[in-house]
Amino acid sequence: MADTISDRDRPADSASDTRIRSISASIIEAPTVRRHKLSNTEIAHQGFVLVRVQLENGVTGIGEASTLGGPRWAEESVESIQAAIQNYLGPALVGQNAMLFEANAVRMAKAATRNFAAKAAVESALFDAIGHTLGLPVSALLGGRVRDRIGVIWALASGDAAQELEEAREKLRLRQHRDFKIKLGFNSPDADIRRLQHLRAGLGDDVKLIVDVNQAWTEAICIRLFPALEELGVVLIEQPVPASQRETMARVAARTHIPLLIDEAAFTNSELASVATQACGSVYSLKLVKSGGLLELKRAAGIAQAFGIELYGGCLLESSIGAAAHMAVFSTLPKLEWGSEHFGPRILVDDLVATPLVFEEYEIHVPTGPGLGIALDEDKVRFMTRKV
């Protein structure tokens, strides 16, 4: 039986030769403008793996894998991502036709289990390379855009309520962000509520507040604090309890009028279907580092909506590279009820691209150029690349 996975196109000329010549991965360490706290980690530098895929036609595509403080948010670290790409994913793809996206995703699945961030970075680079080869934006390869701008949420995560209030007011003054997500769980529950009260009093009732607990609370804490969150007008609660406690999440979801945002509880599509069936939440956070690629991210969106779950464009503090890959997918989704939180490029002291993504009037513009629509600033990349 013929297997298309092992077939390789025979290009008519060198310009159309979209076979993969090489795949490389380097570690980037980018300082952030302020400390960023989660319930289980704190960073002042963001770690990325920059992937370059070179085709036989001479075109190079780029992709990015993002982590938060090592293997704490998920099991991957920049070191493990680089190793997976160099030792397993890359060798599985070199020589193959980059245009065969589905077939190459199957190859990567056979080469490595999970390793979702690594796979997503490679697939992003493949799409970028083919987009440049054809002169088309990645969104066109994914079905075409239905929107060219997406609302963008800003995260407040220093833990200092006074500093966060000043930060939020400045974002509002500049008309960059008007919806804010507050990271909770690294202080005591009572301190979390006092911090939220300070922010609500300082920002007024018209500003939307989302909270992200990053799995830090127990069911008992949720029962005690949810009424206070309702009183403060919080519009969304992200992953309040540990990801493995799906029954607990379903119980706490039933106790509040505030929708729960499912994040770490569902990486794979089967996990997403399971949490949806158990009624663990009514909104799902879409992330390439969870789905493992652009194609799977679109499938995750479809599965969520089949269960009546609304969509939220999640992030892991990506630079403009990773943000552009997400925008390419998000722009093609028929619905994206909660917009996105791809503020990552703005939290970096310096971005990795020559022209960063455009933020204007509380929205992020979807790039329109070929591929991901961005180009590296090689001087910045060299400066921030980890030296061996």
Catalytically active residues, by annotation? 183, 341
Single-letter residue type at 149: R
Sheet holding 208-212, edge to edge: 154-156, 179-183, 208-212, 234-238, 260-262, 283-286, 310-313
In angstroms, rounded to a whole number, what is the distance separating the alpha carbons of residues 15 and 85?
26
234's tokens: 């919080």
CA distances for 82 relative to 67, 93, 255, angstroms = 12, 15, 43
Cβ density class 54-82: b for 16+ within 10 Å, e for less: bbbbebbbbbbbbbbbeebbbebbbebbb
- Using DSSP bridges, classify how beta strands 60-67 and 208-212 pair: parallel, antiparallel or unpaired: unpaired
- Residue 164: both structure tokens together: 């966060």
Q: What is the DSSP letter of 360?
A: E
Q: For residues 21 and 129, what is the distance between their CA atoms, to the nearest angstrom?
A: 12
For residues 340 and 363, the answer to whether their CB atoms sit within 8 Å is no
What DSSP assignment string belongs to 286-334? Answer: E-HHHHSSHHHHHHHHHHHHHTT-EEEE--SS--HHHHHHHHHHHTT-S
Where would I find the beta strands (DSSP E) of the chain? Answer: 20-37, 42-55, 60-67, 149-151, 154-156, 179-183, 208-212, 234-238, 260-262, 283-286, 310-313, 359-360, 363-365
List, in order, residues 6 or more apart from 97 with CB less than 8 Å away. 8, 9, 18, 19, 20, 103
